[in-house]
Chain A
Amino acid sequence: MKLILLILLTVNIYASTKQNMFNLYQNKKYEDVCKIGFDNFRENKADEEFISIYAFACLHSDYIDRLAIPVAMLKFSSEARANSAYFSVILMQKKLLYHAMVDGYDLSSMNLPTTDYVLSKVFDLYSKLPKHNARAFYLFEDPNNMKLTYKLYLSKSDRLNKMVIEEFYDTITIKRHVYW
Chain B
Amino acid sequence: MININELEARWLKYKIKSYIPHIVILLSIAIILTIFALFNSKSVINTKEVTKVKNENVQEIQVDTPSVEPIEAIADIDTKKELVLAPTIERTKQKIIQIQPIQKKKIEYTTPNYNTNEKTILAPSLDFMTKLQDNTLPYFDNENENKIEHATQETPVRIKTVHKAAQKKSKPQIEPIKKESSIQIDRQNTHDDINQVIKRFKKNNNPALSLFIAKKYYQLGEYHQSYNYSLMTNEINNDIEASWIIFAKSLVKLNEKSMAVETLKKYIAHSNSHRAKILLDEINSGKFK
B-binding residues in A (CB < 8 A): 2-3, 6, 10, 18-19, 22-23, 26-27, 31, 38, 41-43, 45-46, 48-49, 52-53, 56, 61-63, 65-66, 68-69, 72-73, 78-79, 82-83, 85-86, 89, 111-116, 124-125, 128-129, 135-141, 143, 149, 153-157, 160, 162, 164, 171-173, 175-180
A89 interface neighbour in B50, B113, B122, Cβ under 8 Å: B122
Is the beta-carbon distance between B77 and A31 smaller than 8 angstroms? no
* 10 sampled A-B residue pairs with Cβ under 8 A: A2-B28, A18-B132, A62-B66, A73-B44, A79-B125, A116-B121, A136-B78, A138-B108, A138-B110, A173-B95
Q: Give every chain A residue within 8 A of B50 (Cβ-Cβ).
A: 41-42, 45, 69
B32 close to A (CB within 8 Å): yes
Main SS at interface, chain A: mixed
Is the beta-carbon distance between A56 and B108 smaller than 8 angstroms? no
What CA separation (Å) do A69 and B50 show in the bound complex?
Answer: 7
Is the beta-carbon distance between A45 and B45 smaller than 8 angstroms? yes
Q: A82 with B124: in contact, given A26-B206, A178-B67 (CB under 8 Å)?
A: yes
A-binding residues in B (CB < 8 A): 28, 32, 36, 40, 43-45, 47, 49-51, 53-54, 56-57, 60, 63-64, 66-68, 74-75, 77-78, 85, 92, 95-96, 99-100, 103, 107-114, 116, 118-129, 131-133, 135-136, 204-206, 236
Is the beta-carbon distance between B121 and A114 smaller than 8 angstroms? yes
Is the beta-carbon distance between B125 and A83 smaller than 8 angstroms? yes
Nearest-neighbor residue (CB-CB) of B119 within chain A = A114
Is the beta-carbon distance between B136 and A22 smaller than 8 angstroms? yes
Is the beta-carbon distance between B103 and A139 smaller than 8 angstroms? yes
Nearest-neighbor residue (CB-CB) of B35 within chain A = A3
Q: Give every chain A residue within 8 A of B63 (Cβ-Cβ).
A: 160, 180
Interface contacts (Cβ under 8 Å), in number, total 160
B119 interface neighbour in A78, A113, A173, Cβ under 8 Å: A113
Is the beta-carbon distance between A3 and B120 smaller than 8 angstroms? no
Is the beta-carbon distance between A141 and B96 smaller than 8 angstroms? no
Q: Which of B100, B103, B111, B113 has the most CB of A within 10 A?
A: B111
Q: Give every chain B residue within 8 A of A164 (Cβ-Cβ).
A: 74
Q: Give every chain B residue within 8 A of A85 (Cβ-Cβ).
A: 122
Q: Give every chain A residue within 8 A of B127 (Cβ-Cβ).
A: 79
Is the beta-carbon distance between B77 and A140 smaller than 8 angstroms? no
A41 interface neighbour in B54, B78, B114, B126, Cβ under 8 Å: B54
Is the beta-carbon distance between B206 and A66 smaller than 8 angstroms? no
A114 interface neighbour in B57, B103, B116, B135, Cβ under 8 Å: B116
Nearest-neighbor residue (CB-CB) of B31 within chain A = A3
Nearest-neighbor residue (CB-CB) of B63 within chain A = A160
What CA separation (Å) do A43 and B131 show in the bound complex?
Answer: 21
**Whole-angstrom distance from the CB of A167 to the nearest CB of chain B?**
11
